[in-house]
Structure 1
Amino acid sequence: MDKEQEEMQFVGFFGIFNESYKAIFAWRKMFGKITLSLILPLSFIYLVHMEVSNLFFSKIIHNEIELHHTRPGTPKYEKLSDLISDEWAYFWLFKAAYFTLFFIFSLLSTAAVVYTIACIYTARELTFNKVISVVPKVWKRLLVTFLCIFVAMFFYHVVAFGVLLVSVISIGRNDLGLAVFIVLAIFYLAGLLYLTVIWHLANVISVLEEAYGFNAMVKSKNLIKGNTWVAALIFLTVGIAAVVIQFSFQRVVIHGRRSGVGTRVVYAIFSLFLHSMLTLFGLVIQTVIYFVCKSYHHENIDKSALSDHLEVYLGEYVPLKARDVQLEQYHV
């Protein structure tokens, strides 16, 4: 973040990665503490969830196979049936606990990283205790934004599924139907990626501006104009990296029974480290993209006003009005 704001608009795909890396490296102690306290537990929860889910499914599938080969009405059949019902109940309770913890740590991590980058940008005094004290206040705004994007995602999938279903029924199973399915699938994935970009920038807006929820989504949609492809390609790259880590973890740790316990433990630790670093990198990247998009649209971020806005979370001054805090425009 050592570039002037006017220069940020010229930062491209590789430049955004470079700026994000330099910010993390320059403040590695601060980001190290954030990673250990918030992001590492987030990654740990995510990876452990995959291992435990696999164990649940293995037991359930084994018992269902046994049930299928057992004569109905016998004591063994009734016992297996009750056991499978209990296992499914435990599985969904575990899923609920996982999503709750993952959701909380995800919001807290996002709030901490975005706030930290903003403080670095405005040259504010920054301590880990201050960041931790701010996070519980910021994540409430992120919660509203997340719920709004969840609603948008839900309706998007309902409409996409409806269109796909109608198309398949109308055209039928033939070469034309397959071609239409492929085209619709491409459009679906493109739309999903677009919503993902809006979501990430809306998170940053929810912290750095007064807008949150659907208002933050609208601002995010307008902000990414002109940089949509760059932002989409960046988040796609980060997403692919996350999928590679997940696939490798499943292949070596979860299903790699022949690898040996020692190898699996070492690779599990390595995967935890990689996933934590990638999560931190992704959170920093989305904040850098926000500043790049602001510069691209010639919107001057008044560092003094932004600094005052960040003070609201600390309760150290009387909150400014929206028109005072809002980021101003400049013309070049």
Structure 2
Amino acid sequence: MFSGLPLTPLVKQSCQHFAEMVVSSAMRFPLYITMSLLSKAAVVYLVDCSYSRKKFSVSKFYMIIAKIWTRLVSTYAWVCILVVSCVTLFCVILVALCNAFAVIGLSPDMIVYAAVMAGLVFSVIFANAIIICNIAIVISVLEDVSGHHAMLRSSVLIKGQTQVGLLIFLGSTIGMAFIEGLFEHRVKTLSYGDGSSRIWEGPLLVVMYSFVLLIDSMMSAVFYFSCISSNVEADTLETMAISAERMGIE
């Protein structure tokens, strides 16, 4: 037992994969807070130009980035805090549940099933948190809002549109997981029975992974504009209904 969880092959593999993700995220953090933010801001600005029928200007984009970079970094810091808080809270709850089930006397298989169910519930909650974070980044680029205010604005904006956001998150997650699986089996495992090497596939998979990230950033920006349009339509209908009710009373 480790923290109430039986050391089955599934648990060992999951813990190893989680540790690899943590180390990888920590190592790539400097790139996340620089190049990744810059590329996301560029995608959001490009989508905004498409919606407003404006021509993309590199010089204007540079001026915008210089103006909004502080609030963009501030929002990303809050995104990191939210993600780390969600993962930490899940780990604490998972350990507490597993220890409680172990004290009760449940079998190791039942404890694993309970942990899997808790993981599924956490996946839905975590997916909603990621959607809020992605829209908050878009908001910090297009609106004069940053930090926790952008997070609150995002949570209010996506009300009633959560299912669409979950579909976007699910699509991008499946795509990235598929490419990561290919990288694991086709690049990390270099040699096969015939001694052939698959190193040449690495750059292709990197390009595919970058393309999935690009599509994910574009869909987040499009989802933001969709939520804005839906809220404007809802406000218009509500105003019309109130006006009609007042006219009926008069």
After superposition, what is the alpha-carbon deviation per residue over 1:193-224, rounded to whole angstroms, capped at 9, x for unaligned? 11110011111111111111111111111111
2:82 counterpart letter in structure 1: A
Matched with 2:159 is 225
Matched with 2:34 is 104
Matched with 1:270 is 204
CA distance in 2, matches of 1:229, 1:186: 16
Is contact 2:33–2:73 with CA below 8 Å preserved after alignment? no
Choose which of 206, 213, 222 in structure 1 pairs with 2:147. 213
Percent identity over the alignment is 27
TM-score, normalization by structure 1: 0.58
How does 1:1-332 map onto structure 2 within 5 Å? 98-172=28-102, 173-174=106-107, 176-258=110-192, 260-261=196-197, 263-265=198-200, 267-298=201-232, 330-331=236-237
Matched with 2:16 is none
Gaps of 5+ in 2: 1-19, 241-250
After superposition, what is the alpha-carbon deviation per residue over 1:248-302, rounded to whole angstroms, capped at 9, x for unaligned? 12211222223634x421x1221122122212111111000001111222269xx
Is contact 2:138–2:220 with CA below 8 Å preserved after alignment? yes
After superposition, what is the alpha-carbon deviation per residue over 1:18-44, rounded to whole angstroms, capped at 9, x for unaligned? xxxxxxxxxxxxxxxxxxxxxxxxxxx
Secondary structure (helix, strand or coil) at the match of 2:84 reads helix
After superposition, what is the alpha-carbon deviation per residue over 1:122-148, rounded to whole angstroms, capped at 9, x for unaligned? 222322333244334333322111111
CA distance in 1, matches of 2:68, 2:153: 18
2:58 counterpart letter in structure 1: F
Is contact 1:112–1:132 with CA below 8 Å preserved after alignment? no
- C-alpha change, 1:252 and 1:132, in structure 2 (3 Å) is farther
How far did residue 96 of structure 1 move? 6.2
- C-alpha change, 1:249 and 1:148, in structure 2 (3 Å) is same
The higher relative CO (CA closer than 8 Å, separation ≥ 6) is in 1
Secondary structure (helix, strand or coil) at the match of 1:210 reads coil
Cα RMSD between the aligned structures?
2.5
Secondary structure (helix, strand or coil) at the match of 2:145 reads coil
Gaps of 5+ in 1: 1-56, 58-91, 301-328
CA distance in 2, matches of 1:176, 1:101: 41
CA distance in 1, matches of 2:213, 2:65: 17
- C-alpha change, 1:277 and 1:179, in structure 2 (3 Å) is closer
CA distance in 1, matches of 2:209, 2:129: 23
CA distance in 1, matches of 2:172, 2:150: 23
1:260 counterpart letter in structure 2: S
Is contact 2:71–2:146 with CA below 8 Å preserved after alignment? yes
2:46 counterpart letter in structure 1: T
1:264 counterpart letter in structure 2: I
Secondary structure (helix, strand or coil) at the match of 1:298 reads helix
How far did residue 95 of structure 1 move? 8.0
Is contact 2:33–2:76 with CA below 8 Å preserved after alignment? no
TM-score, normalization by structure 2: 0.75
Question: Looking at CA atoms only, which structure, 1 or 2, has the larger radius of gyration?
Answer: 1
CA distance in 2, matches of 1:231, 1:197: 6
Number of residue-to-residue matches in the alignment: 211
